[in-house]
Amino acid sequence: MTTSREVRLKTRPEGMPQPGNFEVASVDLPDPGAGEVQVKNLYMSVDPYMRGRMYDRPSYVPPFQIGEALQGGAVGEVVASNGANLKVGDIVQSMLGWRERFNAPAAAVQKIDTHGLPPQAFLGIAGMPGLTAYVGLLKIAALKEGDVVFVSAAAGAVGSVVCQIAKIKGCTVIGSAGGDEKTAFLREIGCDHVIDYKKVPNLTKALMEAAPKGIDVYFENVGGEHLEAALEAAKPFARFAMCGMISQYNATEPPKGPSNIMYVVGKRIRMEGFIVSDHFDMLPQFLQDMSGWLGSGKLKWRETVDEGIDAAPGAFLKLFTGENLGKMLVKLA
């Protein structure tokens, strides 16, 4: 018997989530039962999509329930095992983040062969955000060599991988992010043009200057003004991989839609939404490519790390204020 602390949804946020929407609770954790393991989480992930699960509405994943622990990606270490295939000291990943420790059937966690990477890389560049970038760019946007690619939230966990894969594939990359630290990072990872959307007076104009002949691909993480700028700058037959719209997640009234959506017709734009979990068939190919790129030093990544379970709600909120550079993580042990 031990104890664990976990973060629960106390009330559903309206608009921008507040610390008071969350509560941290202690729970007694018995020894693991037959076939179970006990895992001590090392890192947990906070991701923008989790905001959607805080609404009580049908979506592609069921909503979080009030009074229950939140869920999300985590990497941890097996500290007790009654599961045949897992032993103490194994590094595993699970969807049982937002808690310090947990018991679960051995089949509910996946052992990671870290290939020398730090385990938290599997919550970022070598995990779900990396796969999201890979699927969105190569499959949904059908990237071709020579494409001009515009990436919003380009310094984030997904966007920064999108930029770098596009460079590896011989494309011209325009990255948008806010603030000096992020734009410096974008230059460091090889973006050909960097837009600080918080500084430019007119995002569309800045994009048209960076891509005077237009863009072939837009990787959408933000929505709003970024989507309008991308529609304006799109070349005929441009492809838009619609991954997320973080500017819209906390809207309390219907947000302003893109006034120039009509370009989809005349420019024959293909705009396609996707969710990474529909594309797990690409995981083996992704892991093969990614380990090659990481091994040869072609890909860089950044993390913003807060410490301790009490910091988890605040780390989540930073996603919406843009305070994180690269992958936002909470170190739990």
Residues that bind a copy of itself (CB under 8 A): 52, 59-60, 220, 223, 227-228, 236, 242-245, 248, 254-275, 278
Instruction: Tell which residue, 251, 225, 279, 243, has the closest CA to residue 51.
Output: 251
CA dist 240 → 29, 133, 142, 188, 198 (Å): 46, 13, 10, 25, 23
Cβ within 8 Å of residue 326, ≥6 positions away: 124, 155, 156, 157, 160, 185, 301, 302, 303, 304
Instruction: Tell which residue, 52, 165, 59, 101, has the closest CA to residue 309.
Output: 101
Q: How far is the CB of 135 from a copy of itself (least distance, A)?
A: 12
Residues 245, 271 contacting (CB under 8 angstroms): no
Q: How far is the CB of 142 from a copy of itself (least distance, A)?
A: 12
Q: How far is the CB of 8 from a copy of itself (least distance, A)?
A: 24
The one-letter code for the residue type at 25 is A
3-state SS class at 285: helix
Q: How far is the CB of 264 from a copy of itself (least distance, A)?
A: 4
Q: How far is the CB of 277 from a copy of itself (least distance, A)?
A: 11
Q: Is 233 left (phi over 0), alpha (psi -120 to 50) or beta?
A: alpha
Residues 219, 162 contacting (CB under 8 angstroms): yes
- CA dihedral in degrees (85, 87, 92, 95; nearest 10)? 70
Q: How far is the CB of 98 from a copy of itself (least distance, A)?
A: 21
Between residues 52 and 190, which has the closer beta carbon with respect to a copy of itself?
52
Cβ within 8 Å of residue 64, ≥6 positions away: 9, 50, 53, 54, 70, 71
Between residues 89 and 254, which has the closer beta carbon with respect to a copy of itself?
254
Instruction: Tell which residue, 74, 65, 59, has the closest CA to residue 9.
Output: 65
Cβ within 8 Å of residue 107, ≥6 positions away: 83
Between residues 188 and 278, which has the closer beta carbon with respect to a copy of itself?
278
Between residues 70 and 246, which has the closer beta carbon with respect to a copy of itself?
246
Between residues 147 and 232, which has the closer beta carbon with respect to a copy of itself?
232
Between residues 76 and 156, which has the closer beta carbon with respect to a copy of itself?
156
Q: How far is the CB of 53 from a copy of itself (least distance, A)?
A: 11
Between residues 13 and 223, which has the closer beta carbon with respect to a copy of itself?
223
Between residues 60 and 280, which has the closer beta carbon with respect to a copy of itself?
60
Residues 160, 185 contacting (CB under 8 angstroms): yes
Between residues 201 and 254, which has the closer beta carbon with respect to a copy of itself?
254
Instruction: Tell which residue, 304, 320, 316, 310, has the closest CA to residue 99.
Output: 310
Residues 233, 210 contacting (CB under 8 angstroms): no
